[in-house]
Chains A and B, each alone.
Chain A
């Protein structure tokens, strides 16, 4: 089979899998949407529909504690509803949109790999990269949960892809992604290096300014949607920043904020946010020769440090890592980190079940698993980072001596 046919086959299989599951088991969307590992306040489809309903009824969705997602999403789904009628999770329109988004993301990924400009010279075949993203159970589950993070993920892939050919489009993509998922803003510094490889100050400033303007443009949508009230800032970005919707998720925040006294909240909110931010600049500067890897690593860090993480982000991170084939021959703890993460992913629903449904466990069980998950991600992060620096030190992609892998 030709390379192209293989890629097409993977795309077709992935689309078929998603649509067949959706049509065969229409109840699966609601079930997955309720899993705290898969969707959060910042991405739940159920909450989006509630917000949309309120919006339709002429009530501001940003009043009250129902809707915490970007106004842009509300606009997109409003238009979708106008033209397609039903936006049921298993309706044709939603199926087409979500399937299309995932395929688009995979297509971006394959193109990024094929261009060979940002990632390493050693490449995995396109169909393998496509299947690492499209057939990853985490990505499939996120898609079937109709998590709205699919939008921002696709936009991030798009931003990387367009950085190669059309910088304005890339800036627009990143601004839209940051609008949907505020943590994508952290990717701005490495993206500036992607946009201006020459690192001329004027150009960098120009692209940053363009980003700021388009970001402001996207954000102001909410202002017009809620008839000139700024309340929406508080209930969308404010929730993400101050963690006001206190619900368990796979991240490290919820347990802490559940336990501490209220008067400590502001202090620890700032500390936690600062923690997720603090790596951005050092990593960008250290990896300025490989800005895309800085993007990947920052995404990996926000995977555990952001306020509302979900396991779908891990699927995105793994897909981005698959662009760097040479790293896999240089990392040390492949099996170890994979086992830690897999154990955490299997134990998390189990412990959540023990805690919430059976009542025989308690929140400490689930929290322990989120810690294990974070340790697994950190293993992957530090391992890939070490491998990259080692490669940079050695000056070549082939390891000098065989790396003993566990």
Chain B
């Protein structure tokens, strides 16, 4: 302690403590800007690193690939067969595929899956999968080759499935495998595959193998046999990323085969700052919004199970499609050969990174400060509000602190009730339940602040301080789990920390009306419901140019689409355990916003807080006294003002007379 106080003395010297405290809000604001600024620094030269293979065992691209033109006929035949399955029901497809891979020597099985919310609200389908026991392995390790029937964009993944099956057939002829190969053809990229991964780890399935070391998902949609470039998709649910070595392996092999490879769809050269920044920001948005409502690309369900998986997506750009499906197959073969080489689970390299291009990345040490700065800025603002509100006598401020904390707990409990209600709401009524919650959350601040009654300003500041410290705590924690989400949330709340002014006495008319306007704007802009709707309007259902006029931009929202968006979001939370949205929305955003709203609607007594220990009578007395004092002060002030006015008029008269004399 003496060390700290000595440090404090050394640092502060003779500086006034008060002035130091008053600097805190500025520091907090600067931290937000510094956090955002850092993101723009990251793509600059010298800030990022080139990727490298950290795990020597991988040996990417070293093995010769033998999936050659002789296989192409088989691949074409499979494509033909798969094309015929396009309009067949899923269970029939599964039976066909099961027979195929059974004949190849795989131990095949059909995995029927269902997710049900209520009895009438069911998602179901049939996955089919097969296990090839490794000639050189002992069934303790395996790797995945997966091709969903429907890819992330909703297209029929004809090429992917045919490639996976023909690769599977081709793999049986090799004796190099030291890890079992699991071929999975799931119904879709999210629910079906997720259920398969869950069941693989939780239950004993009829065909099984050991721990999955890694996997690739093949995405080759449509009837084309050519493609323009490979896009590597790697972002998992809840901000989980696979080991960087796996991505590097895929990228390096692409380079060996002179395939064009991109991440996050940015095709430009990585020598440009703009392209790097674009990749960075697209990566951040992909990570933050992964699993919000979209189907995903197939690598997501493996996250959270210690399975590193990537999706290799063949992008078809009609302008030029120089690469053939054989090259895609070779790429898949080569990546699997590399995973096969692993001696231990992916552990070298990085799990926390942001890509700037397929060849460039920033690691956690460089980018984490951005989210940490944002998170800490809330904590600092919270500390400031706390410190400015504990000037009164200690004992009574303790009671006030406890009571404000109680109010904050009420807000948290209310928000968790919201979460429980929305999680249990049947899908058919989701829109109604949302509407009710919107109304409840809109009126809750008004009712709560009425019930709490008139409170001193320090009470309100304590409430705000708790909510900001809570926000800071959650954001710093979240930034290690899902950096991008923490960053975006941190930005979304920031007006609540800095643009919220508590109403004070009416005398300062213009300033206070501006302030109240700013505060109400801040609460509207940061309102979780408004932001949700805005996200839907901008990203999910982008407005046409004619709809950009004010009333039409709201009225032209398709209710049906909004409903399915909300339902999908809830399904992702309930079935797939995507906690990045629904729980964060209700348990983090809602309480912070609600307590800010309560703070600005609360009636604030101008007097210093009366002794909370004393009886009501004493309180009244004190209030009376204070009131009298205030009155007296006001009188004195008025007198002084009058005197000043007189002086002013006198002096002005003097100057006038002087002017006259000059004239």
**Closest Cβ–Cβ distance, residue A131 to chain B (whole Å):** 10
Is A278 in contact with chain B by the CB < 8 A criterion? no
Does B477 lie within 8 Å of A335, measured CB to CB? no
Distance of B55 from chain A, by nearest CB (Å): 14
Residues from chain B with a CB closer than 8 A to the CB of A404 are 17
When the two chains form the complex, which single residue of A329, A354, A385 contacts B395, counting CB atoms closer than 8 Å?
Answer: A329
Q: Which residue of B lies closest to A330 (CB)?
A: B394
What's the minimum C-beta distance from A402 to chain B, rounded to whole angstroms? Answer: 8
Q: Which 10 A-B pairs have the closest CB atoms?
A: A360-B351, A382-B1, A329-B394, A359-B306, A386-B1, A350-B477, A346-B477, A335-B386, A383-B1, A347-B477
Cα A358 to Cα B352 with chains together (Å): 12
Nearest neighbor of B481 in chain A, beta-carbon distance:
A350
Inter-chain CA distance A115–B352, complex, in Å, is: 56
Chain A residues in 8 Å Cβ range of B469: 339
Interfacial residues of chain B within 553-612, with CB under 8 A of chain A in the complex: none
Complex Cα distance, B306 from A406, in Å, reads 42
Interface residue A343 (Cβ < 8 Å from any Cβ of B): yes
Interface membership of chain A positions 318-342, coded 1 if the CB is closer than 8 angstroms to chain B and 0 otherwise:
0000000000110011010001001
Task: Give B1-27 interface residues, CB cut-off 8 Å to A.
Answer: 1-2, 4-5, 17
Residues from chain B with Cβ under 8 Å of A164 in the complex: none
Spell out A's residues near B (CB within 8 Å): 328-329, 332-333, 335, 339, 342-343, 346-347, 350-351, 354, 357-361, 365, 379, 382-383, 385-386, 402-406
Assess the A406–B383 pair: CB atoms within 8 A.
yes
Known: A329-B394, A360-B241, A360-B352. 11 other contacts (CB 8 A): A328-B398, A335-B383, A347-B477, A347-B480, A350-B477, A354-B481, A359-B347, A365-B480, A386-B2, A404-B17, A405-B387
CA distance A275 to B387 in the complex (A): 36
Nearest residue (CB) in B for A385 is B1
Q: How far is the CA of A382 from the CA of B1 in the complex (A)?
A: 6
**Separation of A405 and B345 alpha carbons in the complex (Å):** 50
Question: Do B351 and A361 touch (CB < 8 A)?
Answer: yes
Report the separation of the CA atoms of residues A187 and B223 in the bound assembly, to the nearest whole angstrom.
Answer: 79
Interface of A is mostly: helix
Q: How far is the CB of A405 from chain B (nearest CB, A)?
A: 6
Q: How far is the CA of A405 from the CA of B401 in the complex (A)?
A: 14
- Within the complex, the shortest CB–CB distance from A17 to chain B, in Å, comes to 13
20 contacts between A and B (CB under 8 A): A328-B398, A329-B394, A332-B1, A333-B4, A335-B386, A342-B473, A347-B477, A354-B481, A358-B306, A359-B347, A359-B351, A360-B241, A360-B352, A382-B1, A383-B1, A385-B1, A386-B2, A405-B387, A405-B390, A406-B383
Q: Which residue of B lies closest to A387 (CB)?
A: B1
Confirm or deny: B194 has a beta carbon within 8 angstroms of a beta carbon on chain A: no
Q: Please report the C-alpha to C-alpha distance between residue A333 and residue B240 in the assembled complex, in whole angstroms.
A: 37
Residue pair A346, B473 in contact (C-beta under 8 Å): yes
Q: Are A358 and B240 in contact (CB under 8 A)?
A: yes
CB distance from B256 to the nearest CB of A (A): 28
Interface residues of B in 344-377 (CB under 8 A from A): 345, 347, 351-352
**Judging by beta carbons under 8 Å apart, are B473 and A343 in contact?**
yes
Residues of chain A within 8 A (CB-CB) of B473 are 342-343, 346
CB of B127 closer than 8 Å to a CB of A: no
By a CB distance below 8 angstroms, the chain B residues around A332 are 1, 5
User: What's the Cα separation between A339 and B470 when bound, in Å?
Assistant: 10
Nearest Cβ on chain A to B202's Cβ, whole angstroms: 14
- Determine if B304 is an interface residue (Cβ-Cβ < 8 Å): yes
A109 to chain B: closest CB distance in Å?
18
Chain B interface bracket (under 10, 10 to 19, 20 to 34, 35 or more)? 20 to 34
B379 at the interface (CB under 8 A from A): yes
Q: Bound complex: CA of A406 vs CA of B21, how far in Å? A: 10
State in angstroms the CA–CA spacing of A351 and B481 once bound together. 9
- CB neighbours of A357 from chain B (8 A): 304, 306
**Cβ contacts under 8 Å, A350 to chain B:** 477, 480-481
Distance A365 CA – B386 CA, assembled complex (angstroms):
30
Cβ 8 A contact of A359, one of B4, B345, B386, B390: B345
Residues of A within 8 A of B480 (CB): 347, 350-351, 354, 361, 365
A384 to B390 Cα, complex, angstroms: 19
Do the beta carbons of B477 and A406 come within 8 Å of each other? Answer: no
Cα A403 to Cα B383 with chains together (Å): 17
Complex Cα spacing A209 to B312, Å: 75
Q: Is B476 an interface residue (CB 8 A)?
A: yes
Chain B residues positioned under 8 Å from A365 (CB to CB): 480
CA–CA, A141 and B469, complex, Å: 23
Closest CB of chain B to A339's CB: distance in Å? Answer: 7
The docked-state distance in angstroms from the alpha carbon of A392 to that of B438 is 56
Please give, as numbers and ranges, the residues of chain B lying within 8 Å of A354 by CB-CB distance.
480-481
Asked if A360 and B240 make an inter-chain contact with CB atoms under 8 angstroms apart, the answer reads: yes
Residue in chain A with minimal CB distance to B345? A359
Residue numbers in B under 8 Å from A343 (CB-CB):
473, 476
Closest chain-A Cβ to B458's Cβ sits at a distance in Å of 14
Q: In chain B between 467 and 481, which residues have their CB closer than 8 angstroms to a CB of chain A?
A: 469, 473, 476-477, 480-481
Residues of B within 8 A of A406 (CB): 383, 387
Q: How far is the CA of A306 from the CA of B240 in the complex (A)?
A: 36
The residue on B at minimum CB distance from A124 is B398
Q: Check A328–B481 contact: CB distance below 8 A.
A: no
Within 8 A of A (CB), among B311-363: 345, 347, 351-352
Residues of chain A with a CB closer than 8 A to B390's CB = 405
- B312 to chain A: closest CB distance in Å? 22
B463 CB to closest chain A CB (Å) equals: 15
Most buried by B among A347, A365, A385, A403: A347
Cα–Cα, bound, A389→B5 (Å): 16
Q: How far is the CA of A365 from the CA of B368 in the complex (A)?
A: 14
Q: Which B residues are CB-close (under 8 A) to A382?
A: 1
Contacts of A329 in B (CB 8 A): 394-395
List of A residues within 8 angstroms of B17 by Cβ? 404
| Binary interface encoding of chain B residues 454-491 relative to chain A, with 1 for a CB under 8 A from any of its CBs, else 0 | 00000000000000010001001100110000000000
In the complex, the chain B residue whose C-beta lies closest to that of A404 is B17
A343 to B476, CA, bound (A): 9
A135 to chain B, nearest CB (A): 11
Smallest Cβ-Cβ distance to B243: which chain A residue: A360
A contact residues around B2 at 8 Å (CB): 386
B477 touches A328 (CB 8 A): no
Distance between Cα atoms of A346 and B469 in the complex (Å): 13
CA distance A359 to B211 in the complex (A): 13
Greatest chain A CB density within 10 A among B4, B240, B351, B394 is at B394
Contacts of B1 in A (CB 8 A): 332, 379, 382-383, 385-386
**CB atoms of B386 and A358 under 8 A apart:** no
- Across the interface, do A339 and B379 meet the contact criterion of CB distance under 8 Å? yes
B304:A358 contact, CB within 8 angstroms: yes
Alpha-carbon gap, A385 to B395, bound state (A): 20
With a cutoff of 8 Å between Cβ atoms, the chain A residues found around residue B395 in the complex are 329
Q: In the complex, what residues of A have CB within 8 A of residue B304's CB?
A: 357-358
Instruction: Please report the C-alpha to C-alpha distance between residue A349 and residue B1 in the assembled complex, in whole angstroms.
Output: 28
Shortest distance in angstroms between A47's beta carbon and chain B's nearest beta carbon? 25
Contacts of B481 in A (CB 8 A): 350, 354
Q: Which residue of B lies closest to A365 (CB)?
A: B480
Q: Report the minimal beta-carbon distance from A323 to chain B, rounded to whole angstroms.
A: 15
Q: How far is the CB of B479 from chain A (nearest CB, A)?
A: 10
